[in-house]
Every structure is written in C-alpha cells, then in structure tokens.
Amino acid sequence: MSQPRLRTVVVLAAGEGKRMKSALPKVLHPILGRTLLGHVLAAAEPVAADRTLVVVGHGADQVTAHLGEVAGHAEPVLQAEQHGTGHAVRIALESAPDATGTVVVLNGDVPLLRAGTVTELVAAHEAAGAAATVLAAEVADPTGLGRIVRGADGGLEQIVEERDTTPAQRAIREINAGIYAFDAGLLRDALGKLSTDNDQGEEYLTDVFGQFAATGETVAVHVAADATETLGCNDRVELAALRRLLRDRVNEGWMRTGVTILDPATTWIDVTVTLGRDAVVDQNTQLCGATAVGPAAMVGPDTTLIDTTVGAGATVLRTHAVGANVGPGASVGPYAYLRPEATLREKAKVGTFVEVKKSEIGEGAKVPHLTYVGDATIGARANIGAGTLFVNYDGVRKSHTTVGEAAFVGCDTSLVAPVEVGAGAYVAAGSAITRDVPPGALGVTRAQQRNVEGWVLRRRAGTRSAAAAERAGVTDGAAAAGAAERAGRETPGASEGEAIHRGSVAGEGRPASGDTATE
Ligand code: UD1
Ligand code: MG
C-alpha cells in the first residue's frame, strides 16, 4: 500500500504568454535572478510538498530543461493542448492518483508571491477544513482578472472571469490571484464536472469554487496583505514593472539588515545575492547570481558583479566581474574586468584598465594599471608595472605564468608563458621575457639605448621639434658632428631611420628601478 500523499503542489506553466511576443515561454523570462517560474517554485518551497508537479505545454522542452536546472524535485506534466486552468489541474492530478490532503495550485506567472503568504494560505485552509481557499487581493485596477463575487453573508459565492462578468461584477476590485489550496479528493471530483460553457470555451479552475459554494462545501478567501504579491505578468511592460517592484522589495530588505544602498532606484540585486552588514552599494550597480558581498565592502558605482565574491572591507569601483573572487580588503578598479577564476587574495590590488582571467593575485600584490593577466599566479606583494601583458596564448595552447613573491615587473613587459619570474626577481621595463628569471635576478631583453645627436635638425628640419631643439641649444655644428660619428660607425646600408629602431643588449648597472615601474 502506498503512503498517503499529504501535500501536492501544482504549478500551471503551460500557457504561451502570447502578449510577451517572445520565442521564450513566458514563465522562463527572468527577473532578478530567477525566472518567473523559478520565483513561484521558490515561494512554494515551504509547503514541503510530497510532490511538485509543473504543468508544461508551450515550450515544454525548454521549461522541462529549466526545471532540471533549478528545481530537481519538480516533475513536469505535459498538457499537450491547453484547454484552460481547470483542464491543466485535472491532467496534473491524473498523474498523481494517490494525492490526498491538500493540493496547492499556483499560476506560474506570479513572481512576487512571498513564501510566507503561501504558508499562511495553506495554514488557514487546513485549519478551516475548507474544500477550497483562494488567495485574493484588493487592487486599484482589476482589468483582465477574475473577480471574487461574495454573497450577502460576505462568503465567497463564485469567481467570475472578467469576460463573463455582469456590469456590477465588473466593478468589483477584489480579484483572484491564481493561488489556491484545495482538498484533494473534493477537487478531483469537482474537476470531473467542469463545463466549458464560458466565453473562452475553456475548463476554468475557478468554477470549482462556484460548485463547492452551491453544494454547501466550505470555501474560503484569504486576502493578501500586500496586493503587489498577486500581480501576474502578461507582457514586457508588466515584466518591467514587476522587476522594479521586486528591486524595491529586495533593496528595502537589505537596507533593513544594515546595508547602505545609496541609490535604490539604480541598484538591482538578484534575490540570490547576499550582503554583509555595513556593506555600501553605490549607484548604477547590478549584483547578480551567486554574488556575495562581505561586511563593510564597498561596491559601485557603475558596477556589475555576476557570481562574484567580495571579501570584507574590499572596494570594487566601476568594475565588471564574472565568477571572480575578491579577497578581504582588496581593491578593484576603477575600470577593471575580472573574468572567471580571477582570485585576489587579501589586500591585493587590481587597478585601472586591468583584465584578469583564471589567475591568482597574491596577498598585497599590485597590478595597478593597463594590464592583462591570464592564466597566472602572482605571488604575495609582487608589483606588476603598467602595460604588462601576460602572453598566455600561442594560437594553439594556453600556458601558465608564475611571478614569485615580491617580484618586480617593469612597465610595458611581455611575460611569454610558460615562464616563471622567481621570488624577489626584477624584470626591466620594456622586456619580452621568454625564459625563466631566477629568484633575485634581473631579467632584461630590452635594446640598449643610443642617441643620434642632431638627428632632428638634419632629418626633421623645419618642424616644430627642430625649432624646439634649436631653442634648447642644438646647433648645426652638433648635427654635423652627429652625422660624422654615424658615418664612421654604422654598417653600410643602414639608414638613420633604421637606427632608431635598432638596439643591442642593455648595459649592466642600469637596473629597472623606480623609473621603469609604477606604484
Ligand atoms: C487566471 C484566472 C483568473 C485570475 C488570473 C490571475 C482562471 C480561469 N482564471 O486567469 O481568475 O484572476 O489567473 O492571474 O483560472 N495555464 C495552463 N494551461 C492552460 C491554461 C493556462 O497551464 O490550459 C497556465 C498559464 O500558463 C498561466 C496560468 O495557467 O501560468 C494562468 O493562465 P492564464 O491564461 O494567464 O489565466 P488568466 O486568464 O490570467
Ligand atoms: Mg494570466
């Protein structure tokens, strides 16, 4: 003998949502971290149902795949042709023949519904021993919604779809939210008796209430304290309005737990995000997915964080980050791009116009300006000069670069992976490093500088540079001396023009120090 099933959740999600004008089924449109359907499933979670059935039809494959991703416990039930909400629930219950106790039905397009409201509805329903309980709300504009028609004693008489209303019923502002609790056995019987005698020729779930009221079963109305919870979504204008309402709700929630949000109107925090106390979020900021912002961290303005962790006291300014991990006290931006697996250890710095991918920046290490770091490990307290490129890709393979603890890489350097710069080593500015630099060594590949005296007066006569050189005391004599020196030294065929592109090995004794790297 099978166990009695005490609670079953049925989510209606087979409709097309024509007015969305979208290739995506309506219930899969996202707002703030979940799809419409995902929000409804989350609200139904505390019902602790034995089974959760989701009626799918339009875009059934897409909706089913989505369920697999976000709600492994939910079972899709196919309603191949959509003959109305009553028909949908009937099909769902056919696949749950052992359902007893309470059946909770939710429209799949009511994303602002709170879990607490569903719990209250079910508790009220079960306490009253009702045959059916509907969630209702008093709204300013009931257009398009089913009306709650009450009898002289104030009890529910029937639910009437707008297109089937009399003028007097049409004036009612108490509406059906599309969220219900039913007694399973009574519901099953009632669904078998539904007619299609209405303006749409559909089986209306709502007609079950009229049936029960007429046969003297207990029907109850649970009025939602916050009518915004019951708002459905039929087109993209409504979708945007729901998104704004949810944004305000989420922001308010975080502010009440001790987060400062400087401009709530331009701050969009997914319901899946967490923030620590005294975190500050500045304007035009989106926090998405599995993002977690630690206590007293500062994020924004103009920042998007997706699946990114920000440690306590860190600062993230005008940054786009995806799948990154910013350690406590670290500093990012302005204008940084952190890509998946970018990890900044405690107090590390990634500065302006820096892109980091799949790399670790060690504790207190600095990458302050204009740098690409890919597939690298940078040791603690290392300093990477402006314009350094971690050359990780040879057109076929990605390779790794290691920079040791407290190493110092001069500006405009290419580190051609695979390569290692040892602990405490220096790399001279402008070097292309293709071989390892041992710990404590200076790596230099830069050409030695030579100056061709008087070149500008000879080769750029009449320019503003030549005039400036003359004002600086350069004379025709110096120019001539430079030409003579060049004639005596250069190999045949080499032109003066080439000379400025040529070079030789850098001299010893002129290490890349303060002049070649940046703080
Ligand atoms: C329904 C209610 C209405 C209520 C409104 C609240 C009925 C008859 N009417 O109207 O009283 O005020 O919701 O939003 O129930 N669906 C299916 N299969 C179907 C038909 C619909 O799965 O055959 C799903 C839809 O995908 C949607 C939900 O059921 O998620 C509601 O359907 P919809 O067509 O939006 O009903 P409304 O006309 O809005
Ligand atoms: Mg609807």
Which residues are within 5 Å of ligand 2 (an ion), measured at CB?
Answer: 232
Mean pLDDT value across the chain: 92
pLDDT digits (tens, 9 = 90+) for 278-298: 999 999 999 999 999 999 999
Reported as a single tens digit per residue, the pLDDT across 105-154 is 999 999 999 999 999 999 999 999 999 999 999 999 999 999 999 999 99
Nearest residue (by CA) to ligand 1, atom 11, is 146
> Is residue 363 in contact with ligand 1, taking CB distance under 6 Å?
no
Query: What is the C-alpha to C-alpha distance for residues 424 and 413, in angstroms, rounded to an integer?
Result: 17
Q: Cα of 91 to ligand 2 centre, how many Å?
A: 19
**Residue 68, pLDDT above cutoff 80:** yes
Contacts of 251 by beta carbon, 8 Å cutoff, 6+ apart: 261, 264, 267, 269
Q: How confident is the model at residue 488 (pLDDT cuts 50, 70, 90)?
A: low
Q: 85 alpha carbon to ligand 1 midpoint, in Å? A: 6
Q: Which atom of ligand 1 is nearest to the CA of 110?
A: 14
Catalytic residue among 39, 222, 320, 369: 369
Residue 240 backbone dihedrals phi, psi, to 5 degrees: -65, -40
**Inter-residue contact 426 to 445 (CB < 8 Å):** no
Which residue do the tokens 């290739």 mark?
Answer: 23
Q: How far apart are CA 25 and CA 198, in angstroms?
A: 26
- Cβ partners under 8 Å of residue 158, min gap 6: 149, 206, 207, 209, 210, 213
CA distance 496 to 510: 26
Is pLDDT of 507 > 60?
no
Contact assessment for residue 220 and residue 127, using Cβ atoms and an 8 Å cutoff: no
> Of the ligands numbered here, which is closest to the C-alpha atom of 175?
1
- Report yes or no: 86 and 223 within 8 Å, Cβ to Cβ: no
Residue found by looking up tokens 């990114």 in the block: 308
Backbone angles phi, psi at 482, to 5 degrees: -65, -40
**How far lies 268's CA from each of 95, 114, 249, in Å?**
40, 19, 11
List, as one string, the DSSP characters of 250-298: HHHHHHHTT-EES-GGGEEE-TT-EE-TT-EE-SSEEEETT-EE-TT-E
**29 part of the active site:** no
CA of 78 to the centre of ligand 2 (A): 19
Q: Which ligand is nearest to the CA of 107?
A: 1
515 vs 184, residue with greater confidence = 184
Query: Residue whose CA is closest, atom 22 of ligand 1?
Result: 14
Q: Would the CB of 59 count as within 6 Å of ligand 1? A: no
Q: Write down the pTM of the prediction.
A: 0.89
Distance from C-alpha of 367 to C-alpha of 251, rounded to nearest angstrom:
33
Q: What spacing in Å lies between the alpha carbon of 509 and ligand 1's midpoint?
A: 81
